[in-house]
Structure 1
Amino acid sequence: MNKGHILFIMADFQRPTLCCCRKVLTVPSKSCESGRGMGHCHRVDIASASNFHSFKLRHFHLDLRLNFAIKEMTGWQVLELVPVQPGVQTLVLDTHPSLLIHSIDCKVPGTAGAPDTSLSLTYRVDPFTDYGSSLNISLPAAVIRPHRAFQITIRYTTTDGPAIWWLDAELTCGQTRPLVFTQGHSVCNRSFFPCFDTPAVKSTYSATVRVPEGVTVLMSASHSAYSKRDRVFQFSMEFPVPAYLVALVAGDLQPADIGPRSRVWAEPCVLTCAVSKLGGSVERWLGVAEGLFGPYVWGRYDIVFLPPSFPIVAMENPCLTFIISSILESHEFLLIDVIHEIAHGWFGNAVTNATWEEMWLSEGLATYAQRRITTEAYGEAFTCLETVFRLDALHRQMRLLGDNNPVSKLQVKFEPGVNPSSLMNFFLRAYIEQFKFSSVVAQDLLEFFLGFFPELKESCVSQREGLEFERWLNGSAIATFDLTSWSTFQTVLFLDRLLDRSPLSHEVMTRLSCCYSALLDGMNAEVQIRWLQIVVRNSFYPDLPQVRSFLHKHTSRMYTVPLYEDLCSGGDEVFCGGGVLSDPGPFTPQPCVGPSSRSCTRPVLYLPGAPPPCCPHPPQPPPPATPLHLEALALRDVNVSA
């Protein structure tokens, strides 16, 4: 495939327009130290109250105790920060009204060999939005110096926040023990721990979790350990991740290996089914993905199956995918969703959208990668069927919610096509390697794309008609297509689909009329008959006179019978509207209609329940005719070659 074809693949990855509660503004800032993902260094995520652009978060540690009886997590968090701007006197973190702050301390390095001391800091919590608050911490000037690391410790208790789901035993699959899990996507983890709750910030983390006996704890971490004597679980994530990908689950969970680097976790009553459905498959899918997009960098790929109350189908937490157990009932949906979460190991987790405005950089590319994997593993037919299913669902949503609904604006960009190409493989591998463990904006992807194909940049391809990158990045609705180059078969198939989906809205009919009715005389009869059937079935009165003109001109039964049937079944208004059949003796076919057509149309016109004539004179009884018993005729049954 040549580089020109790659442009059309890139057209599938469009940027979602502004969500109603999220926005991106430009702010003055210095360039990124790494030189990677520089586009987002000049932006601030309005979904976050934090001043994350003033600090670099190196690492944070959580120390928590889980209390199932009162449904609380209590403990502390230690953040290691480095100021990157001079004169910063306040640290602002995202938090939530459900998260109760007890105290905040700062470690002060000792001088002349003296031990470090702890300094209590003042803070206040201010309202931010209905999904969070801002935690404003005053920093001591003597300690805070640019590019010098410092630590603060926040002691807190979680209550009933949106990120933490406490399930009583009866709500679990086994109904024997309670369970708790967290779901941070997209702005919920601020109720789990104070943080820079924006995908623009990534850091490593570690955690210590204390639980009652018989409870197993899992986290989205690369390493874990357990002290049975102390009932303490230790976790560490050696790769930088954004706050929303920090996840925890604790309950009656049992493991089973399903591959050399994969394990299934589930309640005992679910485990056997999960192993039977996924055993041997996950490693195969990981291998296919690595062949396409490069090495899997996260080490392990484990899966934990959660009760049906899990709020979404699956979540791509690194090293540990969360997935709803009810999906085990459908093998194909399970397959698709697990492969999609595997794809997030490259697109979304390794390279992350810097703002939620551009979530398509994770979801759209992951969907593309998912379909590349299924094509390699199961063939094009499987992928095409799944793609059509998802696309139909997208169109249904657009019809229900409208183009301008915030949900629609996001979903449109998640359904890219799939066009296998070795050049695209090379580009995506290089893209992952360049931006691995960083966050990017659309401009980063576009600039890297044009840098990877310099001849395209030199030819100003982004400004070429039909390839306008700006329109792809900023458009909100489903892309429009130029139909003038369609063959007759394509147009006929399109109109047949519209016939099947009639009735259509008046707005849709008006727009279609501008396309078809104005140019009807120049179209062939196969296109005309289908459009006029759509007109009749939708009672679109402005174009009904064209039906009469068509019947005067075309007398073959393959054209007249379908239209007369639709006119009769449409009721009085359609039958008589627009002067279609308002001549005297409207039930009598025109003299130019041949005997064969008259014998076919007469029984149709006199079917029981047919509307009365539109003329002021009562109709004459029809002349005797040989009875002709017609079954319901469909257009596809009639419009066949003679």
Structure 2
Amino acid sequence: MRHSILMLSLAAALAATSGCQRAATPADEAATAATAPATATRMIDEHSYAQPDKVRTKDLALELKVDFDKKVLDGSATLTLDWLDPKATQLVLDTRDLTIGKIVGERSDGKWEDLKYTLAPADRILGSKLTIETPKRNPRVRITYTTSPDASGLQWLTAAMTEGKKTPFMFSQSQQIHARSWVPLQDTPSVRFTYTAHVMAPQDTMVVMSAAMEPGNDNSGDKRDGDYTFRMTNAIPSYLLAIGVGDLVFKPISERSGVWAEPASVDRAANEFSDTEKMIQTAEKLYGPYRWERYDMLLLPPSFPYGGMENPRMTFLTPTAIVGDKSLVSLIAHELAHSWSGNLVTFSTAKDAWLNEGVTTYVEGRIDEELYGKERADMERVIARNELRQEFTEENKPLQVLAGIPGELKDPDDNLGSTVYAKGAWFMQFLEQRFGRADFDAFLRGYFDHFAFQSISSQQFADYAKANLLDKYPGKVTQAEFDEWLHQPGIPATAPQVTSARFDAVDAARKAFLDAGTLPAADATKQWTTQEWVHFIEGMPETLKPEQLAALDQAFHFTGTPNGEIAQRWYPLAVRSGYTQANGEIAKFLQRVGRRKLIMPTYKELVKTPEGLKLAEDVLAKAKPGYHPITTGSVEATIAEAKAKASAK
């Protein structure tokens, strides 16, 4: 998942929304175990009730009907099971706000029989534990169910909220543990399964999923009969289940890649993402063949809470990545890189999230470097590391550790972004520098091959690295150095540093403005990319005088910018500095965009004053119908915390 090309915290989400700690429930006995085929390592996932050491899902068959009027999915999930424990007679699944209609099990004679089940009270983070009695250890179990209109993993948009204004839109976001809100299943990345889906939807909509469309992998967008079938033959974890429904058309980029989008934006998206095939070929040259057959992209409405989501065969993308100059297409490189680090080799629990995001961010940088040059890749690294330094504090030290400690991560959505993305990628660059790029590339390619289609832990990565790096090339990295990166907070002194000559010029321009009020020369700034503008604003003092902001605004038109990455930095600075002239455009931006990474910094500054808090509440009231539940939870938590602090004074 890509929250940004330019890092910020992931903190927000359900735990904060509820204002509660995880309840003392049977979740504590719901530790999951996952044994990758190549190892006997037991993996514990404290964010799932499932018991995959006893029984595992091998295949999932979905029958779903999309109901835009009720804002629900209605249907069934059939799980094909692999019973591992000969004494096990229960199937334990994860659910959140599902209405269960009936549960049946297939007998050995092929007939189906009713099964008894218990749906436990809901935990605010984990949802409800579904325990199904299976004394005959049924090879298949079918659950008939209906989702809630408020399912945390689904967003329902009215036609008025879409670009075309004619057809409603629905899309899913299953990571981290939101798949359980639209499918009853073992919702842990330690379990991988194949799946099929038969989806009925209104005939004026197109359905896409993270799977091949059948028959014939039709990617034209012309097939609109309301009846769609999909198949994913590679085993995936639950967080990669994905569905999108709306007025969608397709435009190819290459023989194996293209863009799905609303008709009004498909050409713009295809133009911006035209380098996708080059990215695939670059990644294949570095790390081996692309194993998912197609790499298509779905451009979502601006309410999508993240930058991108790496659903196999169908990456979901924010439209905020389209700025006209391809300066933000590292987002595509990031989601594509997940096809190796994440989708192919998957973290086994949220505590090991760096294995997905850190390795992916490193691979993203390598793709960017190949296609757009080392200077651009280095600018991205500098920005990410500057933000890491700001985000790492004494208070959040426990969340600065790559190999997470059990019990520290209360909600899997609360991973510290700079840890799993920037620190993880920095660790990879440290290893590359010490072992040399050629040998490290060979190691990483071997790592992807060795653990292909498996879910692994940080310890398994460490064991593999010891055998294939540290022991193979002795004297280059000590075990103590390696372990410090993996198990200690902060950034080790051994971390390699990156500089950018182009940022040096930006720094000089900023200093001239702050010292003498001299605006950067137009002939220089017209060549600046998004990264340079971001660095220019991020290096400003905590506040500026209103007249300084006005001068910058008059010259560069930051207020009202269509570039979300610039808006994310400019508007918080404007709020802190009392530059109320920007309030109108701030309100429009916060109502138009639902991407958490772009809007949360401004909300967090607004709530620090009574006037700003009122503006934040007013904006949320108008924006909430178009926000994803994940975004709404983040904003509501920020406002609630500010109110609590104000009342305590």
TM-score per shorter chain, which class? 0.5 to 0.7
| Residue of 343, 360, 378 corresponding to 1:384 | 378
Quote how far apart the aligned CAs of 1:409 are. Answer: 4.2
Instruction: Give the residue type in structure 2 aligned to 1:438.
Output: Q
Instruction: Give the residue type in structure 1 aligned to 2:214.
Output: S
Correspondence list, 1:147-226, <5 A: 150-159=139-148, 160-225=150-215
Which residue of 2 is the match for residue 90 of structure 1? 90
Instruction: Give the residue type in structure 2 aligned to 1:478.
Output: I
Q: Deviations over 1:247-269 (max 9, x none)?
A: 00000000000111001100011
Quote how far apart the aligned CAs of 1:462 are. Answer: 4.0
Which residue of 2 is the match for residue 299 of structure 1? 293
Quote how far apart the aligned CAs of 1:471 are. Answer: 2.1
Check conservation: 1:102, 1:155, Cα contact below 8 A: yes
Q: Deviations over 1:591-630 (max 9, x none)?
A: xxxxxxxxxxxxxxxxxxxxxxxxxxxxxxxxxxxxxxxx
Q: Secondary structure at the match of 1:329?
A: coil
1:394 maps onto 2:388 in alignment = yes
1:428 maps onto 2:418 in alignment = no
Check conservation: 2:206, 2:224, Cα contact below 8 A: no
Q: Secondary structure at the match of 2:443?
A: helix
Count residues with an aligned counterpart.
Answer: 454
Which residue of 1 is the match for residue 281 of structure 2? 287
Which residue of 1 is the match for residue 338 of structure 2? 344
Quote how far apart the aligned CAs of 1:310 are. Answer: 0.6
Correspondence list, 1:471-482, <5 A: 471-480=484-493
| Residue of 266, 271, 275 corresponding to 2:266 | 271
Check conservation: 1:204, 1:238, Cα contact below 8 A: yes
Quote how far apart the aligned CAs of 1:154 are. Answer: 0.3
For the residues of structure 2 that align with 1:118 and 1:27, how far apart are their CA atoms? 28
For the residues of structure 2 that align with 1:454 and 1:132, how far apart are their CA atoms? 39
Q: CA 1:413 to 1:30, structure 2 compared with 1: closer, same or farther past 3 Å?
A: closer
1:258 maps onto 2:261 in alignment = no
Identity of aligned residues (%): 30
Scaled by the length of structure 1, the TM-score of the pair is 0.65
For the residues of structure 1 that align with 2:30 and 2:118, how far apart are their CA atoms? 25
For the residues of structure 2 that align with 1:292 and 1:129, how far apart are their CA atoms? 44
Q: CA 1:124 to 1:118, structure 2 compared with 1: closer, same or farther past 3 Å?
A: same
For the residues of structure 2 that align with 1:422 and 1:440, how far apart are their CA atoms? 25
Q: Secondary structure at the match of 1:334?
A: coil
1:412 maps onto 2:407 in alignment = no
For the residues of structure 2 that align with 1:31 and 1:272, how far apart are their CA atoms? 44
**Bigger relative CO (Cα 8 Å, ≥ 6 apart):** 2
Check conservation: 1:125, 1:133, Cα contact below 8 A: no
Q: Secondary structure at the match of 1:372?
A: helix
Quote how far apart the aligned CAs of 1:408 are. Answer: 7.2
Quote how far apart the aligned CAs of 1:337 are. Answer: 0.3
For the residues of structure 1 that align with 2:390 and 2:471, how far apart are their CA atoms? 40
Which residue of 2 is the match for residue 613 of structure 1? none
Quote how far apart the aligned CAs of 1:458 are. Answer: 7.3
Quote how far apart the aligned CAs of 1:403 are. Answer: 4.2
Instruction: Give the residue type in structure 2 aligned to 1:34.
Output: P
Quote how far apart the aligned CAs of 1:433 are. Answer: 0.6
For the residues of structure 1 that align with 2:239 and 2:127, how far apart are their CA atoms? 16
Which residue of 1 is the match for residue 317 of structure 2? 323
For the residues of structure 1 that align with 2:415 and 2:145, how far apart are their CA atoms? 38
1:73 maps onto 2:86 in alignment = no
Q: Deviations over 1:151-180 (max 9, x none)?
A: 011000011210010001111122221100
Check conservation: 1:60, 1:80, Cα contact below 8 A: yes
Correspondence list, 1:616-627, <5 A: none
For the residues of structure 2 that align with 1:376 and 1:177, how far apart are their CA atoms? 40
Residues 214-223 or 24-33, more deviating:
24-33
Q: Deviations over 1:512-548 (max 9, x none)?
A: xxxxxxxxxxxxxxxxxxxxxxxxxxxxxxxxxxxxx
Check conservation: 2:213, 2:231, Cα contact below 8 A: yes
Which residue of 2 is the match for residue 45 of structure 1? 45
Q: CA 1:304 to 1:108, structure 2 compared with 1: closer, same or farther past 3 Å?
A: same
| Residue of 234, 237, 250 corresponding to 2:229 | 234
Structure possessing the higher radius of gyration over alpha carbons = 1
Check conservation: 1:412, 1:476, Cα contact below 8 A: no
Quote how far apart the aligned CAs of 1:398 are. Answer: 3.1
Check conservation: 1:222, 1:299, Cα contact below 8 A: no
The RMSD of aligned alpha carbons is 3.3
Check conservation: 1:25, 1:45, Cα contact below 8 A: no
For the residues of structure 2 that align with 1:400 and 1:455, how far apart are their CA atoms? 35
Check conservation: 2:286, 2:441, Cα contact below 8 A: yes
For the residues of structure 2 that align with 1:140 and 1:390, how far apart are their CA atoms? 50
For the residues of structure 1 that align with 2:361 and 2:143, how far apart are their CA atoms? 38
Scaled by the length of structure 2, the TM-score of the pair is 0.65
Check conservation: 2:32, 2:52, Cα contact below 8 A: no
Which residue of 2 is the match for residue 245 of structure 1? 240
Runs of at least 4 residues of structure 1 off by over 6 A?
A: 19-31, 457-460
Q: CA 1:379 to 1:403, structure 2 compared with 1: closer, same or farther past 3 Å?
A: same
Quote how far apart the aligned CAs of 1:272 are. Answer: 1.4
